[in-house]
Structure 1
Amino acid sequence: MGAPKEIVQRAYEAFGRGDVPAILDLVGDEVDWEFVASAGLPYAGRRTTRDEVAAFFADIPRADQIHEFEPREFIEAGDHVTVLGWEKSTALDTGKTFESEWVHVFTVQGGKITRWRGFFNTAARYGK
């Protein structure tokens, strides 16, 4: 099963390989997954099933080309893991390359991710 931090690290390793099925294997049957951003961002919003989480991962490359994506710090507190990171991406709708720090907050129960929140500087993406 693994400790929450280990489960989360495995998810990032899978993301780095582009292995979405491996990520989905780490997601619970019931999940509360939300990228907090304006509704205009295709991957923003809440998802509650594995299929919807799969759609989240499909929406990312339709909106942004990720050049560099670095989880930098993992902070574990019981069932919760907060990850601080950084990315450099290009917004495909504007062609603008942007950099942003990001925060992802996970809850892991029974060896599965049951809750996720993602945040980054959307103003950097939109050039504001």
Structure 2
Amino acid sequence: MLGNCLPLPIYSRVPSTDGARVRVLVRKIAEIFEELANTGTLADTNSDEGIVRALYRALSQGDVHPVSKLVTPDLEWWFHGPPSQDHMMRLLTGAASCDSFSFEPVRFFSQGSKVFVEGKHSTRHNVFWVHIWTVKEGRITQLREYFNTAVLVTDLKPNKPSVEIVSSYPCTTIWQSQLWKSKEGKSLPGFILAV
């Protein structure tokens, strides 16, 4: 479907000094469009975001085998929410099956080694969640999980601020959850992470 978006005469706009290079370029572009059409996203596990996307993809397909390659055995896990909602830990430890809860990622954002994922679980009462993953050397080392909470991540400077400096220094927003209001217009409790 997406392949139809690629203009066929793309090679005619490139100087014809090296036809082989042009054909390779066109083939690479076609492969990218084909991958987008098949997966809805680039399956790039060379990037931190790609690694996290691969984890969600494996969990959504019920395939737990790639998880051990993506997540370190000593994963540091922080959970903020009702104990009944710690679904990710149950999935990662094998205490629950992949079909017991479906994580539906809505938005991904990467900042350094952190990958922010905001999503929901569609039920009669939507459950909103935010996962903040840390990826080091190609593997996930930490998860901070927040359920039914609006999350705001700010950059608080300088490194060791005094009360006077904090009150006068505006914090820079790095990332803010967008699903903070339900369809009924009710807002979720706010949670601010300062880094």
Same fold (TM over 0.5): yes
TM-score range normalised by the length of the shorter chain: 0.5 to 0.7
Equivalent residue, structure 2, for 1:125? none
Query: Amino acid of the residue matched to residue 26 of structure 1?
Result: L
In terms of fraction of residues, the more strand-rich structure is: 1
Task: State the alpha-carbon separation in 1 of the partners of residues 109 and 118 from structure 2.
Answer: 8
Task: Give per-residue Cα distances to partners, 1:73-102, cap 9 Å, x unaligned.
Answer: 11001110000111124xxxxxxx431221
**Cα pair 2:59 2:98 within 8 Å, conserved:** no
Cα distance in structure 2, aligned partners of 1:5 and 1:114: 13
Paired letter, 1:43: D
Q: Does 1:20 align with 2:60?
A: no
Q: Of 70, 87, 111, which aligns to 1:77?
A: 111
Name 2:145's counterpart in structure 1. 118
2:98 and 2:113 map into 1 onto residues whose CA distance is 27
Distance 1:87 1:38 in 2: 15
Flag structure 1 segments of 5+ consecutive residues without an equivalent.
90-96, 123-128
Aligned to 2:28: none
| Structure 2 unpaired stretches of 5+ | 1-44, 150-195
- Computing the radius of gyration from Cα coordinates, the structure with the larger value is 2
Corresponding residue to 2:135 among 66, 90, 108: 108
1:86 aligns with 2:123: no
Q: Alignment identity in percent? A: 31
Higher relative contact order (CA 8 A, sep 6+): 1
Q: How far did 1:15 drift?
A: 0.9
TM-score (norm 2): 0.46
The alignment covers a number of residue pairs equal to 106
